[in-house]
Structure 1
Amino acid sequence: MPAPSSATRRFTRWSALTTSLVALCAGAPAVAQQTIQLDTVVVEGQGGTGGTPGEGGGGGLTSGGYVARATTTGTKTDTDIRKVPQSIGTVSREELEDRQVQSVVDAARYTAGVRAGQFGFDPAFDTLYIRGFDVSYIGNYRDGLRNLGGSFSTFRHEPYGLQGITILKGPSSVLYGAGSPGGLVNVISKRPTEEAFREVETQIGSHDRYQGALDLSGPIGQNDNVLYRLTGLWRSADTEFVAARNDRFYVAPALTFRSDDRNTHLTVLGEYSDLKSGGGRGFYTTPEGDITGIEQGDPAFRDLDNEQWRIGYEFEHRFSDQLAVRQNLRYQNVDTNMRFVSVTGISDDGLTGFRTAGQILDDSRALTIDNQIEGRFATGPVAHTVLGGLDYAYLDSTYRYGGVEAPPLDLVTRNYGRQPIDGPSSHDDASTATELRQIGLYLQDQIEYNRFVLTAGGRYDWAENRSDNFVFPDSSSDQDDEEFTGRIGLAYLFDNGIAPYVSYSTSFTPTVGVNTTTGEAFVPTTGEMQEIGVRYMPTDLNLSMSAALFRITQSNTTQTLGDNTTVQTGERRSQGLELSATAGLTDGLSLTAAYTFLDMEIREEANFGNVPASTPEHQFSIWGDYEFLSGPAQGLGLGLGVRFIGETYETDANLDKNSARALVDAAISYDFSHLGGNFEGVSAQLNATNIFDDREALCNNGYCYREEGRNVIGSLRYRF
């Protein structure tokens, strides 16, 4: 793994597809009715405060099993998903448990439009692409607030502490400010519950994995105005890499205070995590771009320590059914100490690997606040839900790097860990400090007339970015940007559950730096999207199906020309089709399926017309979980999933290809409660991902990785 830049951390058919999508809605009868009553189901023991996920505006998710019915992520108001004029993917708590998800990347693998694992198996970072665009940094949210971080001091999320995940696809700056044109990933924290909920769980698995976890929630004493939740986890585990651990300590306390009339809520959310992974992950890639079996990293100098904590609150007060105010706040701190060894070359006789050792010290502190006022009123036959907001984000981050030569690797004996490696004595090879401030003012109106729902919003942002380079002061910069973004979309709700929609939305991202020819500061990189889609969510079935056609254009991207000048004339275009379905087809069967067709194109001088590296044109996935509810097999659960990723190019030059692959996951579980007696609340589960151990190479612009191999986890859970 070459250091400090680390490539693993980088940032025609339209007409026919449109015709097909419009035809899907043909013949659906319109029924004149002012409103639609939508029944929702809250998963027992896993809901939001007071059994209403989303209170406080944290991006809550109301669902029945795998099927999400309402969310706040798309509009920042508690809204029926059919009314949101933008594609949304969701992963419920039940699905996280059925698949025994180990990271946000794992959670998103069965979601349409999402490329998870662009850089192969990486236990240290959550890298996701939505509709072809990287959202790992500027599309990373928790409870509706952006997770700001440094280059390596990024906040990691423990899936055991999550209520669910919502993925909003397409430009979303109108509500969230600076962001990727691909969209955003919003993870939702577990919150206190009204009903007592207690769980303990133990796990063992591949690579000497041992884990224990607990989750406790309910009222404090006899006072149902004060609720608590305490979630904790400890894990000791190796990985398939010789120089990467997967250790974790995690504790997340939460308290909710609410008034007798339930009009006022205050939920305090905290977390402390200590994560240990590996700084050197992956395999040496030859100058010709071929992967070898020589692992990067060395156990003698290997750990990536990530210590992080956060504290914040969600406050809401309802003056009436028509007027509410909210304030959500979070402060977080991340300290990263990354030690790694990299193989930089091979001797002519092929017996020795030359290596360097490096250390990165990266820490970040961030504060985010979102103030909202929501009003609901009618003007004649037209109903309005108006949301106004003012948010603020601040980041202070420092980065230091030092590197030295390391003892060579004997490629015959592969003497990993058998030589002392001292590492660098100073960290002056690179030293920077970054400060970011962003203020956004936004306004949105959701207008309903008969069965039409018009969502229109606008936002203005002021962003300041200051970067100090203490090694190369001429590279320091101080830049101010202002930008207006918006969204307008129209949905129509048929009585049979079909809801077609159209929308247009924009995004922006500050681009720090200057044109090396003119000396002028870069303007923000912008994105715009046109989307047409349809959802089918009947009220009498636990079923959600959707189809979306989209076209996204990202403008003002930077590119380095042959004479090493950096200009801002680049563009990328993404268009395609997404199909998805989630269902509880019977009481015991849950299903999620997704298909993505993505036509991505680089519109830059060097590779104009090419497809970005590691971007598949086709992806398909399906996961099903069935539990026997009667008969001799009562309590037995079976799960099976397939993930297909089509061919991808190894580089932006589009010369060679990574092969297509299909990875298979499976699960088996048993609920011992059906045996009665002392087994009430006891269940066991065995999950296996990539059961055929397909570890094909995945190359991306000069660096090659591998898919994660077979991983088996067994768990024993007791709920009481």
Structure 2
Amino acid sequence: MNERMSSACEKKPGNGILRKAVVIALTTTLAVGDLAAKETQNEAEAADVGQSNTDVKQDFDIKDEAVLPTVSVVGQKEISAVDPVEGYVVNKSLSGSKTDTPLIEVPQSISVINKDEFAARAAQSITQAVAYTPGVVSGMFGPSTRDDYFNLRGFEGTQYLDGTRLMSSSSTYAQLRVEPYGMERIEVLRGPSSVLYGQNPPGGLVNMMSKRPTEMPFHEVQFLGGSYDRVQGSIDLSGPVAGRDDFLYRLVALGRGSDTQVDFVEDNRYYVAPSFTWKPSDATTLTFLSHYQKDETGNSMQFLPYEGTVLGNPNGQIPTNRFLGEPDFDGYDREQYAVGYAFEHRFNQTFSARQNLRYANVESDYRGVFPDFFYGFNYDTGRLIPGGSFVDGHMRSINRYGAHYKDNADTFTLDNQAQADFVTGSIEHTALVGVDYRHFNAERLSGFTDFELPELVLDIYNPVYGKRFARPVLDSGINQEQDQIGVYVQDQLKWNRWIATIGIRHDWVSASTRSDGSAEIPQEDEAFTYRTGLSYLFDSGVVPYYSYSESFDPTVGTTFAGIPFKPTTGQQHEFGVKYQPQGYNALLTAAFFHLTQQNVLTADPDPTHVGYSIQTGEVRSQGVELEGKATLDIGLDMTASYTYTDTKVTQSNITSELGNNLTYTPEHQAALWLDYTHQQGDFKGLGLGGGLRYAAGNYGDLSNSQKTPGYVLVDAAVHYDLGKVHHSMEGMRLGVNMSNLLDHEYFTTCYGGSCFYGDRRSVLASLRYNW
């Protein structure tokens, strides 16, 4: 292990970019820190002589001793894009522009799920938190206890935490998973976003924003329990330290023990997230963010055969709780931590600077016995082989194999931003210049059992566990390293009621892979991307917009000739309308998009190059997304959405794929959630919530041979403010949430001959106390 780490540190492409990033970080930090220190010193010196040092300097010549009457000015601090917001409607977001910009002024489709919204549904994962969001397919592989997965507009949705990327790769299971209780909100940015974030698939990204220290004291304790013997406790404490207004703290912690809907699979977690904010002056803020999380769980993502789930089987349907592994061997343990900060300093009314930094480490130990459907699915044609998944003619027993993975991943992310707010003539500018960097290093040790071992054959209709088998030996290793550095420029121009957004970016990306001491396989890429957008603000609150945006995403691997693959590229045209009705806390949006991606891998047509690919593929996604959110004075909170997504394979060397739909992408999706709380009368404080979720069927392969049926799910909630019963219980709230109330059995998706059940009915009761 140490030898691998030492050799990894000697990799030259990554180290070169790493050295540049370190120099940039240190230079920027020292420069901004020095200027901040000078300004603080100037303020202190001015205070000593009785002067006020503010952004706008004014001199007063006092010529007499007349005493003016005291005037009290009461103001309200403007809400920023990182401040807590009550209700379902959030008006500002950092994700769409990296500046403090109202959502209606960003020419791109964005959804924000505030903590009040996903807490009202008792979401236990980010997957569940975004379940009512348009353009998002989540939980593609069932109720996963390992990771969250997202599909946006037909493509993988990448994940971000506080604006910087949560790196991952196909070569590691050590991927950081975010605890929703520690999040203030979740922002879903749809469409190509490489201009602000660098390498990304064209569908968009999910940016999770952490809870931060608050100026107003806040305290919360919550207990939760219910289905699958779930017992969970959490605390959230925040406020000034010792009454000081320049030093704030927040402590979020959670612990739970739980089973799952799959036999022998637990879902236990320990989570703590301390954070601190230091405000030495009104112009400077430094927030330290951190968390530690330990998961002790298994693999609830069961690879069940297509015949016996979606398709019929003479033996009946496989139950949803069926476990295909070995109870005394299977498990997934993850330990992760992250430390970083968000720094901001405003030099004057024009110039400001920000720096976001995070280091994260994830270690995982993944052990499992998995089905072997090698003979049940033809990967060349993408079609199921009838009965081939079973080892007997009765279609009861399957082959299995054992695997063990020990992974370790380190991620370092850095984003430096300089902003200038100024006016030229009648045009207002919000100009942004940034340099960001990210480094990812993953190490894996793995081992496998032999395939087709008689002792691992399992009757899935009458499973017998505990047969002895030779455990996998960790005898294979792989190391992967990725680096990206990007430079971007953006200007948001306002003239009368017009808003134009223009952004450009250039990225340099390097990656290297080394397996079992073999020669290093390097890959170098660079790309230029840009984005333009135009909006118009009507007095009525209606804002139509148009935008064009681009993406690029490096592709790992080579052709038969050993030539590295080029990055995939994406382009999108989007028309939309955003409406914020005057006098109502509501936001309505509609987006129409047309998105294409080039350089998609497709099979090499040369018959002597079996198993190799070339980049001649192209795919297209187009559709419409509608969303409405409201928090009304009558006690009603609501969110509604509809999505129509038409995807197609437009170019491929595989004839059976042409004109087919992309994977995991339903053509239609819709959702509605209402939560009403009585405001007066005998039932004051009593709340009722209900929701509907609909998804059409989706395909698990590009040949469109495996399709899951559509489904409709019903959710419900009831809650009561106990403080309405007696003042001694002020701040206490009792709630019961029911997800999939009718206990409908459905399938999220199928691929490679395997299918995945969705979440069964879950009932959770909670008691929360705020003071």
- Fold-level match, TM-score > 0.5? yes
Give the counterpart letter for 1:315 in structure 2: F
Deviations 1:372-396 (A, max 9, x none): 1000000010000000000110011
How far apart, in 2, do the equivalents of 1:206 and 1:311 lie? 34
Shift of 1:335: 0.5
Aligned residues: 657
Corresponding residue for residue 13 of structure 1 = none
Asked whether the equivalents of residues 280 and 298 of structure 1 are also in contact (C-alpha less than 8 Å), the reply is no
Corresponding residue for residue 163 of structure 2 = 144
Corresponding residue for residue 678 of structure 1 = 728
- Which among 42, 59, 68 is matched to residue 90 of structure 2? 68
How far apart, in 2, do the equivalents of 1:178 and 1:351 lie? 45
Give the counterpart letter for 1:699 in structure 2: C
Corresponding residue for residue 258 of structure 1 = 279
Question: Higher mean Cα deviation, 197-206 or 644-653?
Answer: 644-653
- Which among 311, 320, 324 is matched to residue 348 of structure 2? 320
How far apart, in 2, do the equivalents of 1:550 and 1:62 lie? 31
How far apart, in 1, do the equivalents of 2:114 and 2:337 lie? 24
How far apart, in 1, do the equivalents of 2:300 and 2:759 lie? 15
Asked whether the equivalents of residues 194 and 529 of structure 2 are also in contact (C-alpha less than 8 Å), the reply is yes
Shift of 1:707: 1.1
Is 1:699–2:699 an aligned residue pair? no
- Which among 364, 378, 391 is matched to residue 436 of structure 2? 391
Give the counterpart letter for 1:718 in structure 2: Y
Asked whether the equivalents of residues 339 and 359 of structure 2 are also in contact (C-alpha less than 8 Å), the reply is yes
- Which among 435, 441, 451 is matched to residue 481 of structure 2? 435
How far apart, in 2, do the equivalents of 1:552 and 1:292 lie? 39
Question: Higher mean Cα deviation, 204-213 or 63-72?
Answer: 63-72
How far apart, in 2, do the equivalents of 1:412 and 1:168 lie? 41
1:351 to 1:661, Cα distance in 2 relative to 1, 3 A: closer
Shift of 1:283: 4.1
Instruction: Say which SS state the counterpart of residue 296 (structure 1) adopts.
Output: coil
1:479 to 1:133, Cα distance in 2 relative to 1, 3 A: same
Corresponding residue for residue 381 of structure 1 = 426
1:445 to 1:650, Cα distance in 2 relative to 1, 3 A: closer
Is 1:369–2:414 an aligned residue pair? yes
Corresponding residue for residue 624 of structure 2 = 577
Instruction: Say which SS state the counterpart of residue 207 (structure 1) adopts.
Output: helix
How far apart, in 2, do the equivalents of 1:641 and 1:416 lie? 40
Shift of 1:222: 1.8
Deviations 1:91-124 (A, max 9, x none): 0011011011111111111111111122233222
Corresponding residue for residue 538 of structure 1 = 581
Instruction: Say which SS state the counterpart of residue 223 (structure 1) adopts.
Output: coil
Shift of 1:73: 1.0
Instruction: Say which SS state the counterpart of residue 311 (structure 1) adopts.
Output: strand
How far apart, in 2, do the equivalents of 1:123 and 1:404 lie? 24
Corresponding residue for residue 524 of structure 1 = 567
1:387 to 1:413, Cα distance in 2 relative to 1, 3 A: closer
Shift of 1:254: 0.2
Is 1:229–2:250 an aligned residue pair? yes
Question: Higher mean Cα deviation, 697-706 or 170-179?
Answer: 697-706
Deviating 4+ runs (over 6 angstroms) = none
Is 1:281–2:301 an aligned residue pair? yes
Asked whether the equivalents of residues 554 and 573 of structure 1 are also in contact (C-alpha less than 8 Å), the reply is yes
How far apart, in 2, do the equivalents of 1:179 and 1:410 lie? 41
Corresponding residue for residue 499 of structure 1 = 543
Corresponding residue for residue 109 of structure 2 = 87
1:437 to 1:630, Cα distance in 2 relative to 1, 3 A: same
Is 1:357–2:376 an aligned residue pair? no
Shift of 1:215: 0.5
Shift of 1:421: 5.9
Instruction: Say which SS state the counterpart of residue 295 (structure 1) adopts.
Output: coil
Instruction: Say which SS state the counterpart of residue 91 (structure 2) adopts.
Output: strand
1:203 to 1:62, Cα distance in 2 relative to 1, 3 A: closer
Instruction: Say which SS state the counterpart of residue 213 (structure 2) adopts.
Output: coil
Instruction: Say which SS state the counterpart of residue 175 (structure 1) adopts.
Output: helix
Corresponding residue for residue 711 of structure 2 = 661
Asked whether the equivalents of residues 82 and 499 of structure 1 are also in contact (C-alpha less than 8 Å), the reply is yes
How far apart, in 1, do the equivalents of 2:592 and 2:678 lie? 38
Corresponding residue for residue 8 of structure 1 = none
Instruction: Say which SS state the counterpart of residue 65 (structure 1) adopts.
Output: coil
Shift of 1:352: 4.7
> Counterparts of 1:634-653 in structure 2 under 5 Å?
634-653=684-703
Is 1:207–2:254 an aligned residue pair? no
1:68 to 1:513, Cα distance in 2 relative to 1, 3 A: same
Q: Percent identical across equivalent pairs?
A: 39
Instruction: Say which SS state the counterpart of residue 349 (structure 2) adopts.
Output: coil
Corresponding residue for residue 460 of structure 1 = 506
Shift of 1:62: 6.4
Shift of 1:342: 1.5
Shift of 1:409: 5.5
How far apart, in 2, do the equivalents of 1:279 and 1:714 lie? 25
> Counterparts of 1:79-158 in structure 2 under 5 Å?
79-135=101-157, 139-150=158-169, 151-158=172-179
Deviations 1:569-608 (A, max 9, x none): 1111000011110012333100000000000011322201
Give the counterpart letter for 2:619 in structure 1: R
Query: TM-score normalized by structure 1?
Result: 0.88
Corresponding residue for residue 331 of structure 1 = 359
Asked whether the equivalents of residues 141 and 301 of structure 2 are also in contact (C-alpha less than 8 Å), the reply is no
Shift of 1:417: 5.0
Asked whether the equivalents of residues 694 and 707 of structure 1 are also in contact (C-alpha less than 8 Å), the reply is no
Is 1:480–2:521 an aligned residue pair? no
How far apart, in 2, do the equivalents of 1:651 and 1:400 lie? 30
Larger gyration radius, structure 1 or structure 2: 2
Is 1:193–2:239 an aligned residue pair? no
Higher-strand-fraction structure: 1
Asked whether the equivalents of residues 64 and 542 of structure 1 are also in contact (C-alpha less than 8 Å), the reply is no
Instruction: Say which SS state the counterpart of residue 327 (structure 2) adopts.
Output: coil
Corresponding residue for residue 67 of structure 2 = none
How far apart, in 1, do the equivalents of 2:746 and 2:93 lie? 38
Shift of 1:415: 4.8
Shift of 1:559: 1.9
- Segments of 5+ residues of structure 1 without an aligned counterpart are 1-49, 55-59
Is 1:709–2:760 an aligned residue pair? yes
Query: TM-score normalized by structure 2?
Result: 0.82
Give the counterpart letter for 2:334 in structure 1: N
Deviations 1:138-168 (A, max 9, x none): x210000111134311110101000000001
Is 1:269–2:289 an aligned residue pair? yes
Asked whether the equivalents of residues 300 and 421 of structure 1 are also in contact (C-alpha less than 8 Å), the reply is no
Deviations 1:319-373 (A, max 9, x none): 1122111111000000011111123344445665433221111110010000010
> Counterparts of 1:543-622 in structure 2 under 5 Å?
543-561=586-604, 563=607, 564=610, 565-603=612-650, 604-606=652-654, 607-622=657-672
Corresponding residue for residue 167 of structure 1 = 188
1:170 to 1:297, Cα distance in 2 relative to 1, 3 A: same
Give the counterpart letter for 1:225 in structure 2: D
Deviations 1:454-481 (A, max 9, x none): 000100001001111227x47x520111
How far apart, in 2, do the equivalents of 1:659 and 1:377 lie? 55
Asked whether the equivalents of residues 280 and 340 of structure 1 are also in contact (C-alpha less than 8 Å), the reply is no
Asked whether the equivalents of residues 354 and 417 of structure 2 are also in contact (C-alpha less than 8 Å), the reply is yes
How far apart, in 1, do the equivalents of 2:494 and 2:80 lie? 23
Deviations 1:534-590 (A, max 9, x none): 000124211111111001111111122463231011111000011110012333100
> Counterparts of 1:36-47 in structure 2 under 5 Å?
none
How far apart, in 2, do the equivalents of 1:502 and 1:61 lie? 28
Asked whether the equivalents of residues 706 and 751 of structure 2 are also in contact (C-alpha less than 8 Å), the reply is no
How far apart, in 1, do the equivalents of 2:89 and 2:540 lie? 17
